[in-house]
């Protein structure tokens, strides 16, 4: 059954996907109370971040040389991946930081998954011990955001999602005590639905039958059960679309919770036709105001990861809607 909410959700998704692509000057008009001054100053150099996962193994073959290449492409900030016991890949974190300093790159964020995917009162202590070590290690190299990029397995019911929120709040407290901010990064699975007492998530609310009550999107439950002073959200706009969700709608609705974006496409930015980045950036400037973002690229064909990452930088450098 198509209700009003689904209609609006789908209409907005089409807009995000490009059906209504075009000049988005109406975005500010669509957002009462949002002033033009929320947009960054024109003429300042673009601050473009990169999630280093985008380079895969290619970066780790020559870290100092690779970082210099990244800087030359126009990237200024990095989000780390590959944290393992005080190292990034095989490089001790302090050395990695020094190499970034030498290349003129600032590490502002990191992706770290805890050692457990099932959350319970039995392993809560182990998970918190892990976050304490991860927060301390990253505090030593001046990282601002400590972000969990992977969905916990225990998100099969509304109650499990609520418990995940409790664990995230705990991680948030630990990060805050170390001077960092804890965030959560989505893929597509978080836009599935769950029900009270359920055994599994399902792709849409209709899958549960017309009499089902208390249905909830996992992502919305995560937002609801986390403390805004302890947990923020890094919205991966591509994975939101892949989860049949509208990143623009989420940024408008949760503009106080979504503070970082993953700018990602099916391959090199702007080439698939399925992502309306103009709408996404305009909404982020007006709805969120100040936000950080990181380019992410997964496996590419017929080119190296470095070539793909360079193509992404060129797209954002040229894009007039990226301030």
Site residues (vs Mg ion, CB under 5 A) = 236, 262, 296
Angle at 273 between CA 270 and CA 274, to 5 degrees: 105
Residue (49 or 221) nearer to Mg ion, CB: 49
Q: How far is the CB of 259 from Mg ion (least distance, A)?
A: 15
Please identify, using beta-carbon distances, which residue of 144 and 262 lies nearer to Mg ion: 262
* Residue closer to Mg ion, measured from CB, 225 or 262: 262
62-86 burial, b at 16+ Cβ within 10 Å, e below that, comes to: ebeebbbbbbebbbbbbbbbbbeee
30 CA to centre of own chain: 25
Q: Which is nearer to Mg ion, 47 or 242 (CB)?
A: 242
Q: Which is nearer to Mg ion, 148 or 195 (CB)?
A: 148
Considering the complex, what minimum distance in angstroms separates the CB of residue 4 from Mg ion?
Answer: 31
| Residue placing its CB nearer to Mg ion in the complex, 257 or 262 | 262
The minimum distance between CB 236 and Mg ion, in angstroms, equals: 4
Rounded least distance, CB 89 to Mg ion, Å:
18
Nearest approach in angstroms of CB 55 to Mg ion is: 14
Q: Closest distance between Mg ion and the C-beta of residue 297, in Å?
A: 10
When the beta carbons of 239 and 286 are compared against Mg ion, the nearer one is: 239
CB of 54 to Mg ion, least distance (A): 9
């Amino acid at each position: 059954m198509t209700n009003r909410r689904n209609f609006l959700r789908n209409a907005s998704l089409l807009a995000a996907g490009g059906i209504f692509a075009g000049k988005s000057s109406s975005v500010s008009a669509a957002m009462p109370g949002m002033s033009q001054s929320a947009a960054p100053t024109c003429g300042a150099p673009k601050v473009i971040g990169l999630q280093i996962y985008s380079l895969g193994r290619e970066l780790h073959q020559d870290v100092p040389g690779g970082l210099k290449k990244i800087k030359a492409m126009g990237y200024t900030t990095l989000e780390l991946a590959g944290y393992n016991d005080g190292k990034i890949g095989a490089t001790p974190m302090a050395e990695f930081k020094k190499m970034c300093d030498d290349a003129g790159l600032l590490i502002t964020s990191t992706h770290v998954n805890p050692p457990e995917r099932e959350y319970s009162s039995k392993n809560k202590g182990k998970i918190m011990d892990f976050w304490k070590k991860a927060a301390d290690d990253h505090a030593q190299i001046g990282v601002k955001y400590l972000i969990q990029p992977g969905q916990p397995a225990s998100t099969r019911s509304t109650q499990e999602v609520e418990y995940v929120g409790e664990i995230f709040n705990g991680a948030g407290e630990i990060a805050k005590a170390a001077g960092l901010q804890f965030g959560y990064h989505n893929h597509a699975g978080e836009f599935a639905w769950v029900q009270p007492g359920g055994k599994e998530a399902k792709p849409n609310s209709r899958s549960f039958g017309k009499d089902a009550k208390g249905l909830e999107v996992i992502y919305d439950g995560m937002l609801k059960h986390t403390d805004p002073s302890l947990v923020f959200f890094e919205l991966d706009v591509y994975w939101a679309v892949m989860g049949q969700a509208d990143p623009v709608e989420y940024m408008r609705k949760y503009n106080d919770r979504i503070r970082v974006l993953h700018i990602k496409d099916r391959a090199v930015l702007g080439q698939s036709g399925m992502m309306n980045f103009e709408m996404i950036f305009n909404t982020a400037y007006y709805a969120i105001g100040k936000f950080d973002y990181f380019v992410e690229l997964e496996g590419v064909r017929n080119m190296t990861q470095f070539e793909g990452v360079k193509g992404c930088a060129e797209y954002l450098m040229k894009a007039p809607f990226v301030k």
